[in-house]
Amino acid sequence: MSVPQPIPYQGSKRRIARHILRFFPGEFDTLIEPFAGSAAVSLAAAHARKARRFHLNDINQPLMALWREIIHDPAGIADAYEKLWREQTGRERAFYDFVRDRFNATQRPDYFLYLLARCVKASVRYNAQGEFNQSPDNRRKGRQPESMRRDIEAASRLLRGTAALTSRDYGAVLGGASPGDLVYMDPPYQGVSGFKDPRYYSGVDFDRFAGELARLNERGVPFLLSYDGHKAGSRYGRALPAGLNLHKVEIEAGRSSQATLLGRNEITYESLYLSGALVERLGNSLVV
Ligand SMILES: C[S@@+](CC[C@H](N)C(=O)[O-])C[C@H]1O[C@@H](n2cnc3c(N)ncnc32)[C@H](O)[C@@H]1O
């Protein structure tokens, strides 16, 4: 059985999650994901039995409400998704717009799951009023209800009874982490939100984030961080401060789709940073 991925989500770490797990210590209390999104790393860790307890957090409240349904009422959310998916038949475009309006009025998790399954690049976009305004991908009908149900049920089995769910700013979650835990962070990429100021990326202030990492170091909380300063173009990219004493590893993320189109065989890499406390815990087992 492969790792379930019930929530389609742009920027999901699903493809490289198993490589990230290689840098987990053998024993720790709780795996904390302050920027959980579709929680690809927690799901992979639960599947590989690399973590026993989880804390999933994301500032996006409807997303965390959807996680709550997936984990605690898998049959209910799978039924609701199937109903929406079948109701769209023959009027997919108009039905998408209808569900988007209903979601903006109610924030219901089943509407959100349907929108994520059908919108362009599974990418969450909001207008200035905070309304979901992403367009549908008219070439896709959204994931088949049967396979969606399988992944929902499998994710529920992996996380029920072991995962705490919150929807807060990441800083509050980091404040509760202790040296016995392991934190995995995948903050939103720089540049993607259209902020022109390089200190910001999608609402996360760079200097404040660097300060939060320094505090984790001071408290000896081990962490891993996915961060590609160059990803959105050098105009926005900022290197992490050297004083954070992070150990960088490059993870092979497969072939770039752009290179494949051009007939080249370019392998792409993603950067992962390990904190000093984590490197110490890994000791001789850290072979890179
Ligand atoms: C790159 S995505 C994480 C993707 C995730 N690793 C996965 O596998 O799906 C970043 C997430 O950070 C969340 N986020 C943005 N600002 C945040 C904040 N201040 N506190 C907590 N979460 C935040 C976004 O809602 C988004 O889901």
Q: How far is it, in rounded angstroms, from Cα 225 to Cα 232?
A: 17
Domains of the chain with CATH codes: 17-59+168-285 (3.40.50.150), 70-149 (1.10.1020.10)
Residue 188 Cα to ligand 1 midpoint, Å, equals 6
Place 145 in a pLDDT band, splitting at 50, 70 and 90: very high
Any idea how long the chain is? 288
Instruction: Compute the 3-state secondary structure of the chain and give helix, strand, coil in percent, each to the nearest 5.
Output: 40, 15, 40
Integer Cα distance of 272 and 288 in angstroms? 12
Residue burial 155-187, b: 16+ Cβ < 10 Å; e: rest: bbebbeeebebebeebeebbeebeeebbbbbbb
Q: What is the pLDDT of residue 193?
A: 46
Whether ligand 1 lies within 6 angstroms of the CB of 47 is answered as no
* 166 Cβ closer than 6 Å to some ligand 1 atom: no
Pocket lining: 169 vs ligand 1, CB cutoff 6 Å: yes
Distance between CA atoms of residues 119 and 221, nearest Å: 37
pLDDT bin (cut points 50, 70, 90) of residue 190 is: low
Checking if the pLDDT of 288 tops 70, the result is no
The answer, yes or no, to whether residue 186 has pLDDT greater than 70, is: yes
Highest-confidence segment of 11-15, 179-183, 201-205: 179-183
Pocket flag, ligand 1, residue 252 (CB < 6 Å): no
Let me know the angle formed at the C-alpha of 269 by 121 and 140, rounded to the nearest 5 degrees.
15
**Mean pLDDT, all residues of the chain:** 90
Q: What is the pLDDT of residues 55-113, one digit of tens each?
A: 999 999 999 999 999 999 999 999 999 999 999 999 999 999 999 999 999 999 999 99
Give the residue from 146, 112, 144 showing the smallest Cα distance to 126.
112
Mean pLDDT across 161-173: 97
pLDDT at position 71: 98
- 115 contacts 142 by C-beta, under 8 angstroms: no
Is the torsion defined by CA of 109, 110, 115, 118 positive or negative? positive
